[in-house]
Amino acid sequence: MDKYDVIIIGAGPGGMAASLYTVRANLKTLMLEKAAPGGKMMSTWEVENYPGLGKVTGFEISEKMFNHTQELGVEYKYGDVSGIIDKGDIKEVHTSGGDVYETKAVIIGSGTTPRGTNAPGESKLSGRGVSWCAICDGAFFNDKDVVVVGGGNSAIEEATYLSKMVNHITVVNVLDTLQADKKAIDEANATGKMDYKLGYEIVSFDGEKQLESVTIRNVKTQEVEKLEVEGAFVFIGHIPETKFLEGLEITNQWGYIEVNSKMETKIPGIYGIGDVIEKELRQIATAVGDGTIAAVNVSKYIESISHK
């Protein structure tokens, strides 16, 4: 069985930042990732609030961070982590592919995945007009009409991104206001392609093989309307990626990992960072900060158990 000082689960910005600090502290580090390095940055069109980088694409910032980890010698492997077994000073990390790794500490930076509306037709038409990623799927809807579901920053910023290719966008939000900030809303409006249906919920995504329309309902009047669109992009929040932690009892009632200010969970040697922890602000910079704090405390923890 391969043995490590620390295993980092997830190569998002949090995990990658943590890995820089653990390898520089001479800890034998393995970073496991089930998709591509970058995490949610990979499905983000543009980032302009990470200090020092100006305006970069999500792909560019992902690549820069990943290259940095590789320059410093972080070991990176594909691995879909399916469980962690706590054996005191040693933890076992298991993957769905059957690999088992032994480690002194684990840093969990597994992030979140997009939430669905659960409306009829959503899963059937997923990838057939219904999408959770504008940067991945936007180009399929050149000159078409689409719906964007949600009213927060992600929804409005992604709608602005989609406006570069699609013909028209109807933003459908269940609340009767938008929660996005003013700058994001102004930029969206400046595209001249937005229409808003505020105070509307999704009734269904309609179509046999491809999305043909989205049925919406006014939450006050109950009046139902059909929007003839070929694409629907859903941005209504996220669900923490913590199913593989079942049994460890380190998550709260919503599935987010509970940590203290050192990013420690209640199990010594297991840390949580980034979007997957219970916290106020989920951003690249805050994930990087969490990863940094966890890594420094992992070093101290490993030092302490080696003197036992």
Ligand X SMILES: Cc1cc2nc3c(=O)[nH]c(=O)nc-3n(C[C@H](O)[C@H](O)[C@H](O)COP(=O)(O)OP(=O)(O)OC[C@H]3O[C@@H](n4cnc5c(N)ncnc54)[C@H](O)[C@@H]3O)c2cc1C
* 203: contact with ligand X by CB under 6 A: no
Helices (H) and strands (E) in the chain, counts: 6, 19
Instruction: Please pick, from the candidates 22, 69, 103, 110, the single residue that binds ligand X as defined by CB under 6 A.
Output: 110
Instruction: Please pick, from the candidates 167, 191, 218, 283, the single residue that binds ligand X as defined by CB under 6 A.
Output: 283
Dihedrals phi, psi of 210, to nearest 5 degrees:
-135, 155
Number of Cβ atoms within 10 Å of the Cβ of 66: 21
Q: Contact, 267 vs 249, CB < 8 A?
A: no
Q: Describe the chain by its helix, strand, coil percentages, rounded to 5.
A: 30, 30, 40
Per-residue DSSP letter, 257 = B
What is the smallest separation between the CB atom of 168 and ligand X, expressed in angstroms?
21
* 173: contact with ligand X by CB under 6 A: no
* 10: contact with ligand X by CB under 6 A: yes
The nearer residue to ligand X, 207 or 291, going by C-beta atoms, is 291
Total binding residues toward ligand X, as defined by CB under 6 A: 36
What is the smallest separation between the CB atom of 308 and ligand X, expressed in angstroms?
30
Instruction: Please pick, from the candidates 69, 154, 204, 213, the single residue that binds ligand X as defined by CB under 6 A.
Output: 154
What is the smallest separation between the CB atom of 232 and ligand X, expressed in angstroms?
15
Quick one: which segment of 144-152, 192-200, 246-254, 270-278 binds ligand X (CB under 6 A)? 270-278
Instruction: Please pick, from the candidates 8, 30, 31, 32, the single residue that binds ligand X as defined by CB under 6 A.
Output: 32
Strand ranges in the chain using DSSP code E only, listed in sequence order: 2-9, 29-33, 46-47, 56-57, 75-78, 81-87, 90-95, 100-108, 112-114, 130-131, 145-149, 168-173, 194-198, 200-206, 213-218, 224-227, 231-234, 238-240, 270-272
Instruction: Please pick, from the candidates 5, 8, 12, 146, the single residue that binds ligand X as defined by CB under 6 A.
Output: 12
What is the smallest separation between the CB atom of 22 and ligand X, expressed in angstroms?
15
Q: Contact, 166 vs 140, CB < 8 A?
A: no
Instruction: Please pick, from the candidates 21, 196, 244, 301, the single residue that binds ligand X as defined by CB under 6 A.
Output: 244
What is the smallest separation between the CB atom of 181 and ligand X, expressed in angstroms?
12
The nearer residue to ligand X, 81 or 202, going by C-beta atoms, is 81
* 137: contact with ligand X by CB under 6 A: no
What is the smallest separation between the CB atom of 164 and ligand X, expressed in angstroms?
15
192: tokens are 């001249």
Q: What is the DSSP string of 143-189?
A: T-EEEEE--SHHHHHHHHHHTTT-SEEEEEESSSS--S-HHHHHHHH
The footprint of ligand X (CB under 6 A) covers 9-15, 32-35, 39-41, 44, 47, 49, 79-81, 109-112, 154, 158, 241, 244, 274-276, 282-285, 287
